[in-house]
């Protein structure tokens, strides 16, 4: 089973221009298109896990910062 490194794509896109970000997205689309149906399922599952973990991390960071600025 392949292991997809979504963090690598994410980090590359963080400070990328719109054109660079579009190229990174195209890389991901091309990678996905090249996969077997079984690997596409794995890709989608790993992508969902990555997105959930990143969302949770951002939420936690936001809550930490927001808590520091809270008047309580």
11 found inside a domain: yes
26 found inside a domain: yes
Collect all residues with Cβ–Cβ distance below 8 Å to 39 and sequence separation of at least 6. Answer: 1, 2
Q: In the prediction, which pLDDT does 71 show?
A: 59
Tell me the pLDDT tens digit for each residue of 5-15: 999 999 999 99
- Cβ-based burial of 11 (10 A; exposed 0-12, middle 13-18, buried ≥19): exposed
34 found inside a domain: yes
Secondary-structure percent of the chain, ordered helix, strand, coil, rounded to 5: 80, 0, 20
Q: The tokens of 11 are what?
A: 């980090």
Q: In the prediction, which pLDDT does 68 show?
A: 64
30 found inside a domain: yes
1 found inside a domain: no
Residue where the block lists tokens 């298109």: 33
pTM attached to this predicted model: 0.75
Which residue would you say has higher pLDDT here, 65 or 4?
4
How many domains is the chain built from? 1
64 found inside a domain: yes
Domain that holds residue 59: 6-69
Residue 60's pLDDT band, with cuts at 50, 70 and 90, is: confident
């Amino acid at each position: 089973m392949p292991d997809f490194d979504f963090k690598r794509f994410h980090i590359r896109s963080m400070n990328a221009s719109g054109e660079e970000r579009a190229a990174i997205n195209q890389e991901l689309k091309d990678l996905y298109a090249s996969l077997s149906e079984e690997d596409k399922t794995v890709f989608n599952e790993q992508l969902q896990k990555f997105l959930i973990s990143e969302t949770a991390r951002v939420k936690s960071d936001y809550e930490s910062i927001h808590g520091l600025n809270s008047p309580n």
